[in-house]
Structure 1
C-alpha cells in the first residue's frame, strides 16, 4: 500500500478522514485503507495519529469516532511472525532487533491510549459518557492460521487482536455491535454531547495535527534500527509530565535554577517556557505596545554550535503554541563570547580576546564587570538601550561564578531581583567549573525557585548507566583519584532513590526506557579504526536503513575527527552521504537531513542522535574533566552507542567495557 494508493482511497471515501498523510509505513496505510473502504457511513470520523490537547503519551495509530459504532482505538504493528522471539499470556511480545531484544506490549499501549482519550473527553463533558470505547491491535502481516500454528496452545488470541484476514471485517463488525447495543437501550445514535466531548478532547486542527518534525515519511523494513529510530521519534517529541509542568510555570521576576540529569529535557523546558512568556506578553496589548521596541530576552550558552539548535527549539515551541512565526527581535540567542563581542560593538565595554595572553576567563569576567559598572554609572542611556528583561542561561555548568555575576548585571536596572534563569547539570561539566555559590551572587534560588528534573527521557537505561559508572570511576584503577564530589548532584539523586549501589556498581533508576547494551570495539591501529567506522556506517545506512541525520560521529580531538573525515570522503565508492564537520561550520545546526555529522564532544554538547559512534577512546585521559567529556559523549546517544579505540584497550575504554558487562 503506497501513499498514492491510500490517497486515492481517501478521495473516494464515504466517511471523513483526517491526518491520513501521517500513516508513515505500509502496514499502517494498509489497515487504514481497509477501514476506510469498509466504512460507508458519512458521519463517521477516522483520525490518523491524533494528539490530545494534553498528552504525555504517543498518539494511537487510528481512532474511529462514529455515532453508531462508538469509539474504536487501533494500534498497528507491522512486524512479521519471524521477528517475534517469544510471547506471554498478557500480550507482551519480545522482538529481535539488531540492537538486541526489545519487549513490547501493544495491548497495554493501545489500552492506555483509549483511557487517555476517555479521560480527556470526560473532563469536558458535563455528564457521564455513554458512548462505548473499544481498542484493537492490528497485525496486517500475520495470518491467524500461521499465528496459531507457531504458538499452538500458548497462542494469545483475544478478540482485540486483528490479523490480516480480519481487517475487512473490523468496521462492519463494529457497526453491527454498536447498533445492537443502541437497540437494546432504545436509542438510534450515541449522544451528540458525547461525540462533541471527544472532538473537544482532541482540540482544534493545529493541536490535532501539529507541524511534523523534519522526518519525511518513508518505507522501511520492520525490526531494523531505522524502523526503531523512526518509531522512537514519535515518542520522543511528546513532553513528559515533568517537562510539561516546568514549561507551564510563570517565571516573571527573580532568578530560577533548573538542575537536571542528562537527557531530562532542560533545553526543551527553556524553549517552551520562553515561548509561553512571549506569547503571553503579546496578548497584553497595552504592555506590549508600551515596550515592544525594547522588550528584550536573551538566551546565552557557552558553545557556539549550540546556538542554531536552541534557536530552532524556541521557534518550534512558539509555532506549536501559536501557529505563527516568532516575532522579529523578541529573543536573541548567542554564545557567551559572541555576546561579549556584540556588547563591545555597542559601547558597553572593550572586547577582550578569549586567548589574550596573561588573562584567563575569570580575569576577563572581572574586567568586563568593571567596564560595565562604569557605563551604568556614567552612561545610563547606552546601558538601558541594550539591557535585557530576562536572561536564560543554557548549559549553565559551563560558566564561572564571575560570569553569572556579569550576566545578572546585564539585566534592567529597575529589577529588584535579577530575572536570570539557569539550566545546568554538573555531571556534564566539561571545563571543570566549580559550582557557584548562588547566595553570594545575590541570587535567591531557594524553595520554589529551584527545580530538579530527575527523569532521563532521552537515553536508554543501559546507555546512561554505563556512562555514569565511567563518570564516577567505578572500575578505575586508582579510585581515590576520582573525586566523586566534583559532581555534586549525585547526593540528591541518591537521596531520591534514583541511584543505588550494588558492590560498588551504580545502578541508575532515573532512566526508565530500556534498550540494547552499548558496544565496545578495539582494533590494532588508527587505520584499522578508520576502516571499521567506514564498514559500520555502510551497515547502518544500507542494511539497517538508518537515516544519515540520525548518526553522530564523535571524537575527543579536532585533529582526529578531521583525519577521519578526510578518510571517509576519500572512499569515493563507499556510497556514504555528505559529511558535515560541526566545528568547521559552527553556525550550522547539527543533524541536517541527508548528512552525516562529525564533531568533537565539546561542539556537540546539547545535541543528541539516535546512533552515536564515539571514536578513538584512547585519546581520553582518566582525570575528572575527561570523564565528564566521556559521559557527555555517551549520553548524546538516544538508542545506539558504540565506542571504538585502537591500540591497547585501557583507560576509560577498559572501564567502559567493564561497565557493559555489569549493565
Structure 2
C-alpha cells in the first residue's frame, strides 16, 4: 500500500469526491515504496499540485485531479477551459498545462543539486531520474474525451497519454493497468534507482518546512521560474548531507488534524520537530496567537530560536511554564497571592485563582502546544487547557514518561481527560529513536530500563525505544580518582575533537548537579576554549544554539536539546545525601538517561565516586570501551 501524506483520513474533509476516489486507488494499487503527497504547497507562490507521486525506480509525477462533467466543458484550448457552472461560465487553466507549469518550477530547483544530476553519458548534467505530469478526470470517461474533441486537435489540447479517465480508475481496474497509465505519462525513461539519500534530497527541496538543520537557504526563494542566485553559487551553498523529518514524522506532522492531540514519543523520536512543524502550519491557519509551552528554560530558548528562524515569532509566543505565569500576572495586573510558598509556586496559584475569578481571560490563544508534558502537574495542564479558544480548540501535548525527572514517578499519574485534554482516540505513539546511534541508545536504555515506572493504570503505557538504524562508536565509560581528573580528561577530549574538525557548538558537557559545571567552566576559560555555562535562569534564557561555543549545563537543562558529542561529567553524582535511607536511585538513573540520550554520535561518561550509580555505569559500560572515543 502506498504511503499517502497527509494520511487519507486526515484530509478527507478537504478532498473532492474525485480526489477521494483517486487517493483510495493510489493506496490500494501502488506498492509500499510509493510516496504520495496530497495538496501540499510548493515554492514562494504556494502552488498546490493535487498529487505528487515519487517512486525510487519510476521517478516523480505531478497530477491535477478534476471533478468536471463532460457536459460542463464548453471550450478547450491549449491553455484554458471554459466551464459552465452554477454561478455562470468561467475560464480556468487547462489541467495539463497547470500540472506542467508546477512540475517545471520544481524541476528547475532540483536540477541545481549536483547530487541529483547524471554524471556521465548522453544526459550528463540532467536529472538522474524520470519526471512527468498529467491530469485525472474523475467524472469523464475516455470515450467521452474521444467523442468530444476531434482527433486532429486532441493530441495538442489533451494528449491521451497524459490523462487518466473515470473508467481507468474504477474498482475493476487492476494494479498493473493503473500503474501502466500512470507511468505512460513519462516522455522519457532513464536513470538508476534513486537511493534513500537522494529521495531525502528531493523531499528537502520540495518541502523546506520539514528541514531540520537551521539557517539553510530556501532554494524556492527569489523569483519563480529559476531566476535569482547564480546556479554555481546555489550548488556551492547546498549541504552535502541534508537533514529532514523521517517519512513517519512528516506524515504525522501533516496529519494531526484539528482538536486535541497527544504525541507520546521516546527520546529522540522527533517530538519537538513535530511541534515546530505544527507551529508553522497553525501560523498560516489562525488569526489568534499560538502559545508554545515547555518546562525547561533552555528548551524554551531553543524553540524561540527556531520560531525566529522560520519568521513566525510575531504569531507564536514561546515560554517555559513559570515564565508564562509571570507574564500573565504582569499583563493583567494581578498581584501575587501572599503565602510562604516559593515565588514560582505563588505565581502558578495566583494565575489559577485569577482565571477562576475572571481577572485573567480564558481562550486567549488560537492554539496551545505543550512540549515536555511529562513534567507538567495536573493543575498546570488544567489551567493551560482553558487557554485554548473554544472555536479553534487546537491543543497538542507531547511527552515521554521515561524522561520525567522532576517527579518521584515516571508516569503522568492522572488521566488526560481529568485535566481537560480531550484526546481519546487521538493519541500517536512514536517508538523509533532517530537521534542516537544504536550503541548510545542501547547503552542508555539498558542502564535505565529497570528504573522506569510501569503504571498499569496509566492512560498511555511506557514504551521501549527502537533504534532507527544508524550505528557508530560505542559509548566510553571512564573511571578516575577525582573530579579534577575527570575535567582534565574531558578538556583533552574536547581539544582533540576540535582539532579533528568538530565545531565547539556541536559539543556539550552535561552534569547531574553539584560543582562540576562551575569547575569545568573555569578550566575552559583558562584554556581559552569558548563556552557557555548555563547555570542560572538568565543564562538559560539567553541560550543560543548557533553560538560557536561548548555548552555546559545541568542535565535537566538539556532536555529537548541534542548535540553531536556529549560528555557526562561527574556521572556518579547522586542528588540525595550519601548515607540517607531513602536514596532516590530511580530518579538519578532517569536523569542520567536524559543526559545520555542527548548525544547523537559520540558519548563519553566519566565518574570518580563509588556508589550504586557508578556500579550501574561500570556494569553496563565495562565492555563498551572504544579507543576512538578517547581524546
- Per the normalisation by structure 1, the TM-score is 0.57
**Alpha-carbon contact 1:579-1:598 (below 8 Å) kept:** yes
5+ residue gaps, structure 2, are 1-103, 130-178, 218-238, 576-583, 625-631
Partner of 2:40: none
Structure 1 position 64 matched with structure 2 position 118: yes
Partner of 1:242: 248
**Alpha-carbon contact 2:204-2:210 (below 8 Å) kept:** no
Partner of 2:401: 426
Q: Deviations over 1:393-414 (max 9, x none)?
A: 11111100110001112233x4
Query: What SS does structure 1 have at the residue aligned with 2:541?
Result: coil
Partner of 1:468: 445
**Alpha-carbon contact 2:300-2:319 (below 8 Å) kept:** yes
Structure 1 position 407 matched with structure 2 position 384: yes
Residues 459 and 211 of structure 1: CA distance in aligned 2, closer, same or farther (over 3 Å): closer
**Alpha-carbon contact 1:362-1:402 (below 8 Å) kept:** no
**Alpha-carbon contact 2:441-2:467 (below 8 Å) kept:** no
Query: What SS does structure 2 have at the residue aligned with 1:334?
Result: strand
Distance 1:400 1:208 in 2: 32
Which of 502, 506, 516 aligns to 1:546? It is 502
Distance 1:557 1:264 in 2: 26
Higher RCO (C-alpha 8 Å, min separation 6): 1
Partner of 1:303: 296
Distance 2:597 2:373 in 1: 17
Distance 1:204 1:269 in 2: 19
Structure 1 position 655 matched with structure 2 position 612: no
Which of 547, 572, 578 aligns to 2:530? It is 578
Residues 541 and 493 of structure 1: CA distance in aligned 2, closer, same or farther (over 3 Å): same
Distance 2:543 2:596 in 1: 20
Superposed displacement of residue 635, structure 1: 0.3
Superposed displacement of residue 606, structure 1: 0.9
Structure 1 position 332 matched with structure 2 position 322: no
**Alpha-carbon contact 2:374-2:403 (below 8 Å) kept:** yes
Which of 610, 614, 628 aligns to 2:564? It is 610
Query: What SS does structure 1 have at the residue aligned with 2:454?
Result: helix
**Alpha-carbon contact 1:620-1:630 (below 8 Å) kept:** no
Partner of 1:163: none
Query: What SS does structure 2 have at the residue aligned with 1:133?
Result: coil
Residues 463 and 373 of structure 1: CA distance in aligned 2, closer, same or farther (over 3 Å): same
Residues 49 and 657 of structure 1: CA distance in aligned 2, closer, same or farther (over 3 Å): farther
**Alpha-carbon contact 1:268-1:313 (below 8 Å) kept:** no
**Alpha-carbon contact 1:296-1:389 (below 8 Å) kept:** yes
Superposed displacement of residue 462, structure 1: 1.2
Q: Deviations over 1:495-523 (max 9, x none)?
A: xxxx5xxxxxxxx6344222221000011
Superposed displacement of residue 487, structure 1: 10
Structure 1 position 627 matched with structure 2 position 627: no
Which of 461, 482, 488 aligns to 1:531? It is 488
Distance 1:239 1:52 in 2: 22
Distance 1:52 1:437 in 2: 52
Instruction: Trace 1:58-137 onto structure 2 (pairs within 5 A).
Output: 61-64=115-118, 68-69=122-123, 73=128, 127-128=185-186, 130-134=188-192
Deviates more, 1:343-352 or 1:546-555: 343-352
Residues 302 and 207 of structure 1: CA distance in aligned 2, closer, same or farther (over 3 Å): closer
Which of 519, 522, 541 aligns to 1:563? It is 519
Query: What SS does structure 2 have at the residue aligned with 1:383?
Result: coil
Distance 1:126 1:489 in 2: 53
Distance 2:182 2:202 in 1: 7
Residues 458 and 203 of structure 1: CA distance in aligned 2, closer, same or farther (over 3 Å): closer
Distance 2:264 2:487 in 1: 38
Instruction: Trace 1:246-395 onto structure 2 (pairs within 5 A).
Output: 246-252=252-258, 254-281=259-286, 292=287, 295-316=288-309, 319=310, 325-326=311-312, 329-347=314-332, 349-351=334-336, 357-358=340-341, 365=348, 367-375=350-358, 383=361, 387-395=364-372
Partner of 2:373: 396
Deviates more, 1:601-610 or 1:125-134: 125-134
Superposed displacement of residue 133, structure 1: 0.6
Superposed displacement of residue 556, structure 1: 1.2
Distance 1:266 1:208 in 2: 15
- Per the normalisation by structure 2, the TM-score is 0.60
Residues 342 and 213 of structure 1: CA distance in aligned 2, closer, same or farther (over 3 Å): closer
Partner of 1:31: none
Give the total of aligned pairs.
432
**Alpha-carbon contact 1:552-1:612 (below 8 Å) kept:** yes
Q: Deviations over 1:70-117 (max 9, x none)?
A: 75759xxxxxxxxxxxxxxxxxxxxxxxxxxxxxxxxxxxxxxxxxxx
Query: What SS does structure 1 have at the residue aligned with 2:508?
Result: strand
Q: Deviations over 1:464-498 (max 9, x none)?
A: 1211122224xxxxxxxx4632699999576xxxx
Distance 1:215 1:594 in 2: 17
